[in-house]
Amino acid sequence: MERISSSYRQSLAVVSPMVSLRQLRYLESLANTHHFGHAAEACAVSQPALSMQIKELEDELKLSLVERRKSGVEFTEKGEEVAARARAILASVRDLVDYAKGQEGVLSGVLKLGAIPSIAPYLLPAALPALQKRFPMLSLQLRETVTETLVHELVSGNLDVILIALPIDDPEVETHRLFDDAFILATKATDRKARLRRATADMLAGERLLLLEEGHCLRDQTLSYCHMMTREARESFGASSLATIVQMVANGYGITLLPEMAVSAEVHRGGDIRLLRFPPPGPKREIGLAWRKTSPRKDEFVQFGKLLCEVLPKPRKTVRK
């Protein structure tokens, strides 16, 4: 093979970037926190070490990426673009690592799962023991938060797969439908509506609808069904959990639409809540999984989805039909 001349090597050194994955990871952490100290803590390094790597990255790219202020860090316009590209590169690297680990067997190694709060506590407790039994080499790491955050962390590569309510509108994400989760009308047992056999949309008119706080997709889905996408409705009462909402309904503060998967856990038999089912086609949400289109673990996620469908809680018999 012809030897490369020293002058050619020097020219390659000039035009070839020496950007490291470490620098990109530090930049990603800084973009997430907008604070050098917090970013360094997340990366388990000292703040001077992280700051130095960011400065070296700026020198290598010949770009100013961040503005250092007393109140924190502000990214420049070019810095935002570089951070976005860094996330994409790191996600691809994680997909590469996932591909290699995937050769060890289906659903083995670490799986970083994200789930929304209106699904995680009602589906995963039954799924985890079955998952451990069927795939003993799998180490599951769970992150529970709202949909917007989960999608962001999925695309950036910090999560492998997320369990959410569909649809998701993101060109980098592939989704897989699992099942439908019906909405059940929950009202105080002594309310006049509780004597009826079925729920109807008219029952919601003029009632105080108790919802999860802003940011939860379950809130938007409920408002959409009720045709209450007004500013007043969006600014109405919002709770941080379904458990709080159920207790408020039981005490006569309003009504709610409760996901069927949450009924068994949140509504106790013989309590102060009456549950009414809507006639077909009633309101419902579509539950599914989502992952990066570039992920090599699609087959594993499909297997995981099948297991979730198997352990789905059965509908409560006391729900009136």
Q: How sure is the predictor about 70, in pLDDT bands with cuts at 50, 70 and 90?
A: confident
Residues 68, 18 share a domain? yes
Number of domains in the chain: 3
Residues 197, 247 share a domain? yes
| 84 C-beta neighbours (distance < 10 Å), count | 14
pLDDT at 202 > cutoff 50: yes
Q: How sure is the predictor about 295, in pLDDT bands with cuts at 50, 70 and 90?
A: confident
Alpha helices in the chain (DSSP H): 6-15, 21-33, 36-42, 47-61, 77-102, 120-134, 147-155, 217-226, 231-234, 242-250, 260-266, 298-310
Residue 112, pLDDT score: 92
Beta bridge partners of 139: 110
Render pLDDT for 50-63 as a digit per residue (tens, 0 to 9).
999 999 999 889 88
pLDDT at 65 > cutoff 60: yes
Residue 120, pLDDT score: 94
Residue 162, pLDDT score: 97
Q: How sure is the predictor about 4, in pLDDT bands with cuts at 50, 70 and 90?
A: very low
Residue 99 falls inside a structural domain = no
- Pick the range with the lowest mean pLDDT from 81-85, 181-185, 222-226, 292-296: 222-226
- Whole-number Å distance between alpha carbons of 292 and 173: 5
The residue among 9 and 29 whose pLDDT is bigger is 29
Instruction: Collect contacts of 48-51 with beta carbons under 8 A, ≥24 apart.
Output: 50/26
pLDDT at 297 > cutoff 70: yes
Residue 144, pLDDT score: 95
Residues 237, 265 share a domain? yes
Residues 230, 279 share a domain? yes
Residues 278, 158 share a domain? no
Render pLDDT for 107-128 as a digit per residue (tens, 0 to 9).
778 889 999 999 999 999 989 8
pLDDT at 227 > cutoff 70: no
Domain of residue 145 covers: 106-179+287-310
Residue 101 falls inside a structural domain = no
Residues 225, 147 share a domain? no
Residues 211, 194 share a domain? yes
Residues 300, 236 share a domain? no
**CA nearest to 210, candidates 257, 274, 276:** 257
pLDDT at 201 > cutoff 60: yes
> What mean pLDDT comes out for the span 134-162?
90
Residues 133, 58 share a domain? no
pLDDT mean across residues, the chain: 81
pLDDT at 38 > cutoff 70: yes
Residues 164, 20 share a domain? no
The residue among 57 and 12 whose pLDDT is bigger is 57
> What mean pLDDT comes out for the span 85-103?
74
> What mean pLDDT comes out for the span 236-255?
83
pLDDT at 232 > cutoff 50: no
